[in-house]
Chain A
Amino acid sequence: MTAIDKSHGTRHSVASQPPRRRASATEPSATTPTTLAPKPQTMTTATEPADLLRQMMRIRRFEEKCAELYSDTKIRGFLHLCIGEEATAVGVMSALAPSDAVISTYREHGHALARGLSMDSIMAEMFGKVTGCSRGRGGSMHLFDAERRFYGGNGIVAGGLPVALGLALADRMNARPNVTACLFGDGAMAEGEFHESANLAALWKLPVLFCCENNGYAMGTALARTHAETDLAARAASYGMVSWAVDGMDVEAVAEATRRAVAQIRGGGGPCFLELRTYRFRAHSMYDPDRYRDKSEIEQWKRADPIPALSGPLLSSGTLTEADLRRWSAEIDAEIEAAITAADQGELEPVADLTRFVTSEANPTGGPW
């Protein structure tokens, strides 16, 4: 159920517990998210904070290496990095069950890694090898893993949302208690497909979790330059679904919000919407000269970097030591190096296979053609 949040002035659901702002001496200002995270004071997490931290470190380091490999021309095409946004990927995925479905965008390395796709299969995909998770047919933007119900990086902004509805509908028609999470950016909320999908999901009370990673920019265009109403959670709430704005730089807040939303959806409450307010530290893609935003803005957001934001308290409290972090870094680097070696050694798909998978190979009606 949505609630009228009079203080907010919009029809907007917020958590029953007061939001806890992450303690930070360098709280960024105007462009920084208003934290409305539904984060209780006494939280029981399914995933330990240390695990969340390690996953974020793994995604960060993997993507930093991808940027290098792009410069080395090992990776080609478009490469969209989520550096700075790791908390949304890790937080959302930590709250989903293996039987839940995920559909993502072209900025999906983090989602895929957090969902459990192997680093080897992702790296090989970006190297264009047949050992890649999409046999080298998708590349960075189109990572797929049917076994993990990871229905792809979709390169069409908002193009995955209608598909998410159908996955959810199929689950419900078969009485399977699954949730379909669809991730998309703020740019998708200018697309008709978002609004069609939000309406239909709410109308049919489909088990869909809409996760809007609001990083403030649709490629190079700032939110306020393309949206008449920039409170995205409020707009989603107007469709009659529960909608929360969450500090997307706080992985625990994202995880907790997702857990609550998923519980509500699984309970038959219909779709939920999470606006995860985040920021990408790197350019939109490797082609992007990043001329549209001030360096100072980037620096300001880097002070809210989700990795030190979590490692700091864990070190202070003694949960982790510097040695733990060094060990993790070494393990991650070794995993990355192994993935690169495997990708380098992976076979290229024979050109003779070019027209395979245009249609199904076991086609009783005469294909493929």
Chain B
Amino acid sequence: MVTKTAAQSATPTTTPTADGARQTTYREALREAHRDALKRDPRVFLMGEDVGRYGGSFAVSLGLLEEFGPERIRDAPLSESAFTGAGIGAALGGMRPIVEIMTVNFSLLALDQILNNAATLLHMSGGQLAVPLVVRMTTGAGRQLAAQHSHSLEGWYAHIPGLRVLAPATIEDARGMLWPALEDPDPVLIFEHGSLYNLAGTLPDGAAEVDISRAAIRRVGSDVTVIAYSGGLGKALAAADLLAAEGIQAEVIDLRVLRPLDDDTILGSVRRTHQVVIVDEGWRSGGLSAEIAARIAEQAFYDLDAPIERVCGAEVPIPYAKHMEEAALPQPADIVAAARRAVAPNG
């Protein structure tokens, strides 16, 4: 049901195609996932800053307040710790809350609740208190929002036992990850890349749920494995096109799940291609790319024909100026260059 407010959205409307698939956007797919979950389970509710009257700071929840009312679409004060902790308590009390935090940088104000309570209570209580909470937040750069709205800190969260960390990079995952995340008895963090909300594409008919335990091979290739996730996936696929023009066939893995990492898919690909490039918008030092590189080195060292390449965000706070921000982020040309180095004879 499209409400009056939703109809006023500037985003394109969902259009069915002949085979039942639909043209839609990442944002609309997320909204549809919320609407579906709210209809399927009365325990589900959404809570966060500006999720109701405003329609969501990135318009994900536009129209949901009118459709589901203020009890289930709850505008919260600017109190990240309080409303995230309230999500934890509500989960303990039998609800299935979705907490929206505006950006990952703001989530640091709720880090105590996420780490010390959500991720910890089950173990600390000897298995008594599971926390079926979903926390969604925006991550990533590319919109000239400077150094306090642009960082990619999902790697930090992927460090924490007790959490499942998801990073939808496609419209299908934007649509399909929320419901299984709500079914997970433990806390799940979903990172939505800010530059993907307007991503347009086709959603297959009936796409409503996806596997939230596995990575996906988005492009098959035999020469080099390019591992990416979230906003990095599109860049990796663009790089693969450029590499194909040079005769280099890149296999592109979309991690999708940052914790627990799907070692099987990663290692299986590396064992076929023998070269690997890891793309991570987050910082290189102590980051997710380092963890993946370490696992490959630990488990597939003798399958490698070249050193592991990493293409990461520059180790700077993200700057505002467009040319500087672009320079700070992995770009397709950087991925192409890294892949060329990896496949070059004799390293």
Q: A residues near B, CB below 8 A?
A: 101, 132-138, 142, 144-146, 151-152, 154-156, 159, 161-171, 173-174, 180, 192-193, 196-197, 199-200, 203, 356-367, 369
Q: Are B180 and A365 in contact (CB under 8 A)?
A: yes
Q: Is B81's CB within 8 Å of the partner chain A?
A: yes
Q: Are A166 and B112 in contact (CB under 8 A)?
A: no
Chain A residues in 8 Å Cβ range of B85: 159, 161-163, 165-166, 193, 197
Q: Which of B158-177 contact A (CB under 8 A)?
A: 161-162, 164
Closest A residue to B118 using CB positions: A163
Of the residues B79, B82, B92, B126, contact of A357 by C-beta under 8 Å: B126
Q: Is B87's CB within 8 Å of the partner chain A?
A: yes
What separation, in Å, do the CA atoms of A358 and B92 have in the docked complex?
16
Of the residues A174, A358, A369, contact of B122 by C-beta under 8 Å: A358
Q: Are A358 and B123 in contact (CB under 8 A)?
A: yes
Q: Is B130's CB within 8 Å of the partner chain A?
A: yes
Q: Is B90's CB within 8 Å of the partner chain A?
A: yes
Q: Is B185's CB within 8 Å of the partner chain A?
A: yes
Contact with A along B197-239 (1 / 0, CB 8 A): 0000000000000001100000000000000000000000000
Chain A residues in 8 Å Cβ range of B129: 144, 146, 151-152
Q: Are B126 and A369 in contact (CB under 8 A)?
A: no
Closest A residue to B186 using CB positions: A359
Q: In the assembled complex, how far is the CB of residue B132 from the closest CB belonging to chain A, in whole angstroms? A: 9
Q: Are B121 and A152 in contact (CB under 8 A)?
A: yes
Chain B residues in 8 Å Cβ range of A174: 93-95
Of the residues B79, B95, B260, contact of A199 by C-beta under 8 Å: B79
Given A162-B82, A165-B85, A166-B85, check contact A151 B92 (CB 8 Å): yes
Of the residues A101, A142, A161, A170, contact of B125 by C-beta under 8 Å: A142
Q: Are A365 and B89 in contact (CB under 8 A)?
A: no
Chain A residues in 8 Å Cβ range of B94: 170, 174
Q: B residues near A, CB below 8 A?
A: 45, 71, 76-77, 79, 81-95, 97, 112-113, 116-117, 121-130, 161-162, 164, 180, 183-186, 212-213, 259-260
Of the residues B89, B124, B130, contact of A163 by C-beta under 8 Å: B89
Chain A residues in 8 Å Cβ range of B128: 134, 144-146
Given A170-B93, A365-B164, check contact A134 B125 (CB 8 Å): yes
Q: In the assembled complex, how far is the CB of residue A200 from the closest CB belonging to chain B, in whole angstroms? A: 5
Chain B residues in 8 Å Cβ range of A156: 112, 116-117
Chain B residues in 8 Å Cβ range of A199: 77, 79, 82
Q: Are A144 and B77 in contact (CB under 8 A)?
A: no
Chain A residues in 8 Å Cβ range of B79: 196-197, 199-200
What separation, in Å, do the CA atoms of A331 and B123 have in the docked complex?
34
What separation, in Å, do the CA atoms of A365 and B92 have in the docked complex?
19
A-B contact list, 18 entries, CB within 8 Å: A132-B126, A134-B125, A144-B124, A145-B128, A152-B121, A162-B83, A165-B85, A173-B71, A174-B95, A193-B85, A196-B81, A197-B79, A200-B77, A357-B125, A358-B161, A363-B185, A365-B183, A365-B184
Of the residues B90, B124, B213, B260, contact of A166 by C-beta under 8 Å: B90
What separation, in Å, do the CA atoms of A199 and B95 have in the docked complex?
22
Q: In the assembled complex, how far is the CB of residue B155 from the closest CB belonging to chain A, in whole angstroms? A: 17
Q: In the assembled complex, how far is the CB of residue B51 from the closest CB belonging to chain A, in whole angstroms? A: 15
Q: Are B90 and A360 in contact (CB under 8 A)?
A: no
Q: Are B89 and A362 in contact (CB under 8 A)?
A: no
What separation, in Å, do the CA atoms of A200 and B74 have in the docked complex?
12
Given A144-B126, A165-B82, A193-B82, check contact A363 B89 (CB 8 Å): no
Chain B residues in 8 Å Cβ range of A196: 77, 79, 81-82
Chain B residues in 8 Å Cβ range of A101: 93
What separation, in Å, do the CA atoms of A137 and B79 have in the docked complex?
30
Chain A residues in 8 Å Cβ range of B91: 166, 170
Q: Are A138 and B124 in contact (CB under 8 A)?
A: yes
- What 10 new A-B contacts, CB under 8 Å, besides A154-B117, A166-B87, A365-B183? A135-B127, A136-B126, A152-B121, A159-B112, A159-B113, A165-B89, A166-B97, A173-B45, A196-B77, A196-B82
Q: Which 6 residue pairs are nearest across A and B when measured between Cβ atoms?
A: A166-B89, A162-B85, A170-B93, A135-B126, A196-B82, A196-B79
Given A137-B123, A146-B125, A174-B94, check contact A360 B116 (CB 8 Å): no
Chain A residues in 8 Å Cβ range of B82: 161-162, 165, 193, 196-197, 199-200
Q: Are A200 and B76 in contact (CB under 8 A)?
A: yes
Chain A residues in 8 Å Cβ range of B87: 166
Q: In the assembled complex, how far is the CB of residue A143 from the closest CB belonging to chain B, in whole angstroms? A: 9
Q: Point out which of A165, A169, A363 has the most chain B C-beta atoms below 10 A from its C-beta.
A: A169
Q: Are B123 and A357 in contact (CB under 8 A)?
A: yes
What separation, in Å, do the CA atoms of A89 and B186 have in the docked complex?
32
Closest B residue to A359 using CB positions: B186
Closest A residue to B180 using CB positions: A365
Given A138-B125, A144-B128, check contact A169 B77 (CB 8 Å): no
Q: Are B84 and A137 in contact (CB under 8 A)?
A: no
Closest A residue to B133 using CB positions: A166
What separation, in Å, do the CA atoms of A19 and B130 have in the docked complex?
44
Q: Are A163 and B117 in contact (CB under 8 A)?
A: yes
Chain A residues in 8 Å Cβ range of B126: 132-138, 144, 357
Chain B residues in 8 Å Cβ range of A136: 126
Chain A residues in 8 Å Cβ range of B184: 363-365, 367
Q: Are B185 and A169 in contact (CB under 8 A)?
A: no
Q: In the assembled complex, how far is the CB of residue B74 from the closest CB belonging to chain A, in whole angstroms? A: 8
What separation, in Å, do the CA atoms of A363 and B81 have in the docked complex?
27
Chain B residues in 8 Å Cβ range of A170: 89-95
